[in-house]
């Protein structure tokens, strides 16, 4: 008989989220939005994501690594304020686990919306533990636009 080989399924526990998840600000405000990471049992060597936003309402000034990785290397950084899209990836040669701030986004609220709110949302998000994507969830940012 052939011996059975047991394969451990990937234990994906990593969560990304904007902290706080809702910010209320008036038009014209410069805003910093932090992306937090919580790894659970995972040890990350890299994170990659696309952020989507309405460029008529929000303009992105910058995105920079924060203190999750001790010596982060930015592997991809593309901010497109015409299309409303950021492609970003960072990693480290030293895998990291725990909870901390992965990156900080600097943005400006340039216009109001009829709905009174806008989102910055994650897509194509990966959290790498070795070759495995261990992302469990990514929570978007809602910006509530206050009347001046």
Q: Parallel, antiparallel, or unpaired: how do β-strands 22-26 and 85-96 relate? A: unpaired
Q: In sequence order, what are the residues at sequence separation of 6 or more whose Cβ sits closer than 8 angstroms to the Cβ of residue 74?
A: 65, 88, 89, 90
Query: How much is the pLDDT for 6?
Result: 46
Model pTM? 0.91
Query: How much is the pLDDT for 1?
Result: 63
Reported as type and span, the H/E element at residue 58 is: strand 58-65
Evaluate whether 103 touches 77 at the Cβ level (below 8 Å): no
Evaluate whether 26 touches 147 at the Cβ level (below 8 Å): yes
pLDDT in tens, 46-81: 999 999 999 999 999 999 999 999 999 999 999 999
- pLDDT tens for the chain, 148 residues long, are 655 554 455 799 999 999 999 999 999 999 999 999 999 999 999 999 999 999 999 999 999 999 999 999 999 999 999 999 999 999 999 999 999 999 999 999 999 988 999 999 999 999 999 899 999 999 999 999 997 6
């Amino acid at each position: 008989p052939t011996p059975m080989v047991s394969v451990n399924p990937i234990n994906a526990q990593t969560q990304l989220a904007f902290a706080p998840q809702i910010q209320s600000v008036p038009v014209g405000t410069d805003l910093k939005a932090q992306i937090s990471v919580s790894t659970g049992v995972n040890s990350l060597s890299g994170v990659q994501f696309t952020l989507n936003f309405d460029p008529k309402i929000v303009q992105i000034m910058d995105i920079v690594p924060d203190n999750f990785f001790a010596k982060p290397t930015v592997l991809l950084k593309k901010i497109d304020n015409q299309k409303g899209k950021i492609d970003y990836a960072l990693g480290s040669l030293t895998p990291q686990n725990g909870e901390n701030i992965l990156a900080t986004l600097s943005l400006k609220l340039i216009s109001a919306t009829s709905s009174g709110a806008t989102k910055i949302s994650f897509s194509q998000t990966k959290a790498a533990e070795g070759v495995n994507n261990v992302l469990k969830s990514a929570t978007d940012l809602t910006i509530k636009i206050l009347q001046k």
